[in-house]
Amino acid sequence: MSRISATFEKLGQEGRKALIPFFTAGDPSLAQCVPTMQALVAGGADLIELGVPFSDPMADGPTIQRASERALRQGVSLRQVLDAVSRFRQDDGKTPVVLMGYANPIERMGREAFADRCAESGVDGVLVVDYPPDEARALGALLSPRGIDSIFLLSPTSTDERVREIATLASGYIYYVSLRGVTGASHIDVADVGHQVARIKALARVPVGVGFGIRDDATARALSAVADGIVVGSRIVEEIEASSESEAPAAVGALIKRFRQAMDAQR
């Protein structure tokens, strides 16, 4: 069983929901990448989504684009992100790490080389935001034998046919986009998300995490009643943006702890 599936299974047994923070690797600096991951785990994160910076992050809002720009100004590359995961793995063999990013840096490295490097570094899942199912299938055929899950996005506008197609390809978990728009937008309808998650779970066999627009612990608590996991992204990146470089890990650790407490109070 993959590290991701084991994590969701254990949480399920405990009656808890996964807390999944996202931040962009290299923001605020490459040196703080592993300390930030460790602070998130200490604050109660169950799984970490690590953003791979890209020059043209079309599906992200301004907050995450700025994080990408900060990382790229320091020359952070996919290779260095994978190296950071390796360093994280030296002390943490338990917390799953998912790389989330765009196709071009992966294609530039070469899909097979990327899959090899993911396996060597201890990456557990890969979400390529701009891959259509056919391309993701080709990458998944390289990731799966190496024990790496293929994570997919589904949105409020995904048809049942689309959900079924992605359900056959997805492993680990499915990331449900809780609103229309880009990352960091606002206005979540909890009842509607609950209905949509139920629709997906009827068609897919993997857990469903919910993200996009989760900005406060109250929303996280409400959504954790209807989903298997909560993804917090832009809110964390804002915290990094507002902190000095040296204080960023502690700041996001404290923030994620508030989300954890709110979600566990739900039980």
Q: Point out which residues bind another protein (CB under 8 A).
A: 54-59, 61-62, 65-66, 69, 72, 77-79, 102-109, 129-132, 134-135, 152-155, 157-159, 162, 166, 177, 180-182, 185
Positions marked catalytic: 49, 60
Start-to-end Cα distance in the chain: 27
- Cβ closer to another protein: 134 or 244? 134
Residue 49 Cβ vs another protein, minimum distance, rounded to whole Å: 15
Report the chain's C-alpha Rg in angstroms.
17
DSSP H or E segment with residue 218: helix 217-224
Q: In what order do the strands lie in the sheet with 149-150?
A: 149-150, 125-128, 97-101, 48-51, 18-24, 229-232, 208-211, 174-177, 152-154
C-beta separation of 128 from 103 below 8 A? yes
Identify which of residues 69 and 264 has a Cβ nearer to another protein in the complex. 69
Q: How far apart are CA 210 and CA 223, in angstroms?
A: 8
Residue 193 contacts by C-beta under 8 Å, 6 or more apart in sequence? 176, 178, 210, 223, 226, 227
In terms of DSSP bridges, do strands 229-232 and 208-211 run parallel, antiparallel, or are they unpaired? parallel
Nearest residue (CB) to another protein, 58 versus 254: 58
Q: How far is the CB of 36 from another protein (least distance, A)?
A: 21
Nearest residue (CB) to another protein, 157 versus 244: 157
Q: Name the β-bridge partners of 86.
A: none
Residue closer to another protein, measured from CB, 10 or 180 = 180
Q: How many CB atoms lie within 10 A of CB 39?
A: 22
In angstroms, the CA 7 to CA 13 distance is: 10
Q: CB of 111: closest distance to another protein in angstroms?
A: 12
Residue 171 Cβ vs another protein, minimum distance, rounded to whole Å: 16
Nearest approach in angstroms of CB 39 to another protein is: 27
Can you tell me whether residue 177 is helix, strand or coil? Answer: strand
